[in-house]
Structure 1
Amino acid sequence: MTRKILIVDDDQKTRTLLKTYLEKNQYEVRLAHNGEAFLAEFQRYADELSLVILDVMLPDTDGFALCKIVRRKSNVPIIMLTASSDETDRVVGLELGADDYIAKPYSPRELLARIKAIHRRTGIDNAAAPRFYRFVGFTLDTVERTLLDSAGQVVALTGMDYQLLKYFVEHPGDVLDRNVLSEETRGRDAGPLDRSLDVQISKLRLRLSDDGKQPHLIKTVRGAGYVFSADVTAAAI
């Protein structure tokens, strides 16, 4: 199933922020600014959606009414957003069929964590996940969490090496933002003066015998991030 998310929120800055942040984390995002636009998008993409995010307060309706409509037509997971601290809103949303509830203000990172948790529970992120990733003679085994070289010898990896390499081989050819890579491996964004990710990249290059001065596997894209340039083959066996 695709990782396509439909978000309705009447605040343009919020919509833009969430779309940018989630797309950096490899989600496809559709946006709506009110209930009418949401229902049009939902009608169009209902069979493709993996998650719906509903703001409770909207100019032409409310998230509760939209939640009812969605639940009559689909079992897609729903997260509700509200500026109210009233517990009643949370209870009503959950009773109407919402899967989770986040009170404003919230961080995009918190929302991403909730999205990932729901996708894990529903099997979206785990369905048909390949076990092996093969590239330039290396084989990464995601079950054993080991890396073998072309001679079948184990390449020593730290836990962070493994997380970083796994994310790279899952997204070959994509320019990956430093903040995305930092969050995937360390659970937090990389600050402007934080060089720990760059140090980790250098260490991983050494493990892969990738020349740090002229790397062929993990290339630096100035001002944008990093890209894993190897051809990667994924397989279940």
Structure 2
Amino acid sequence: MKDRPLVLIVDDENRYLQLIAMNLHASGYRTVRASDGTTAIARAEMQDLALVILDVMLPDMDGYEVCRAIREFSTVPIIMLTAKAEIAHKVAGLGAGADDYVTKPFSVDELIARVQAQLRRQESSSRPRPPRVFEADELRIDFDARTVTSDGADVALTPLEFRLLERLAGSAGRVLLANEILNSVWGPGYESADDVLRAAIARLRRKIEIDPDHPRHLITVRGIGYCFGRR
């Protein structure tokens, strides 16, 4: 039993806690629950979690604050859950460190599929593989250790930001279509979320570029997509 992945569900509505827990159990997962942000953060620190499903609207603090707090000590995949469908809320959630975003009311099948997709990504990133290190000027990316340094200083990236950087740097010199990046980094359903991608690129530039307003690594190819390094 204990080797089954443990998922933390955070929601202040008991019906959603029960609905999600029942379906996760049926899909082979264990669950632990929290109905407020303070409890969620404490359980995330104490439990060996595989994934967090986190509602935005909580009684003591919003889900964005909880997400940022968890990101201070953990890289566990986080799926935000909310009734707000506007793109600005998706951008805010991803900016806080979330890996995915599902809008209420949701299809249980879709939510389970997104949980499985996040855990597959996590598993594939932890598999042994030959050492892979990419260097470009002051930037050094260790794909296996999942670390980034700039001029020798550590750069703190969220799991999603690292996946985005890995996707671009892994195809250095090649222009990638925006929808291609969205599909491979965020997954199905995000192919048209250009605003989400632009916001993520902007955050990543602020972290890895010496001058984010004049980037040398993350290059926009207008009307097409993005490229790592100049062609």
TM-score by length of 2: 0.51
Distance 1:125 1:98 in 2: 17
Runs of 5+ in structure 2 lacking a partner? 129-231
Classify the secondary structure of the residue corresponding to 1:30. strand
Rate the CA distance shift 1:20–1:64 in 2: closer, same or farther, 3 A.
same
Classify the secondary structure of the residue corresponding to 2:118. helix
Matched with 2:159 is none
Matched with 1:85 is 85
Question: Aligned pair 1:26/2:18, yes or no?
Answer: no
Distance 1:29 1:41 in 2: 11
Matched with 2:56 is 56
Matched with 2:6 is 4
Contact 1:2 1:49 in 2 (8 A): no
Contact 1:35 1:60 in 2 (8 A): yes
| 1:116-162 residue CA offsets vs partner (Å, 9 max, x unmatched) | 1111111179969xxxxxxxxxxxxxxxxxxxxxxxxxxxxxxxxxx
Distance 2:85 2:27 in 1: 29
Contact 1:50 1:124 in 2 (8 A): no
Distance 1:34 1:124 in 2: 32
Matched with 2:108 is 108
Distance 2:23 2:125 in 1: 18
Q: CA deviation at 1:13?
A: 0.8
Give the counterpart letter for 2:8 in structure 1.
L
Classify the secondary structure of the residue corresponding to 2:110. helix
Classify the secondary structure of the residue corresponding to 2:59. coil
Contact 2:4 2:28 in 1 (8 A): no
Distance 2:116 2:109 in 1: 10
Matched with 2:68 is 68
Give the counterpart letter for 1:113 in structure 2.
A
Distance 2:106 2:127 in 1: 29
Classify the secondary structure of the residue corresponding to 1:105. coil
Contact 2:51 2:76 in 1 (8 A): yes
Matched with 2:46 is 44
| 1:149-177 residue CA offsets vs partner (Å, 9 max, x unmatched) | xxxxxxxxxxxxxxxxxxxxxxxxxxxxx
Question: Aligned pair 1:35/2:37, yes or no?
Answer: yes
Matched with 1:122 is 122
Matched with 2:184 is none
Distance 1:82 1:56 in 2: 5
Runs of 5+ in structure 1 lacking a partner? 129-237
> Which residue of the other structure, out of 12, 15, 19, is the alignment partner of 2:17?
15
Rate the CA distance shift 1:108–1:33 in 2: closer, same or farther, 3 A.
same
Give the counterpart letter for 1:22 in structure 2.
L
Matched with 1:172 is none
Distance 1:124 1:86 in 2: 31
Matched with 1:94 is 94
Instruction: Provide the aligned length of Structure 1 versus Structure 2.
Output: 126
The structure that has the greater radius of gyration is 1
Q: CA deviation at 1:26?
A: 0.7
Q: CA deviation at 1:40?
A: 2.3
Q: CA deviation at 1:43?
A: 2.2
Contact 1:2 1:50 in 2 (8 A): no
Classify the secondary structure of the residue corresponding to 2:111. helix
TM-score by length of 1: 0.50
Contact 1:120 1:126 in 2 (8 A): no
Rate the CA distance shift 1:125–1:7 in 2: closer, same or farther, 3 A.
farther
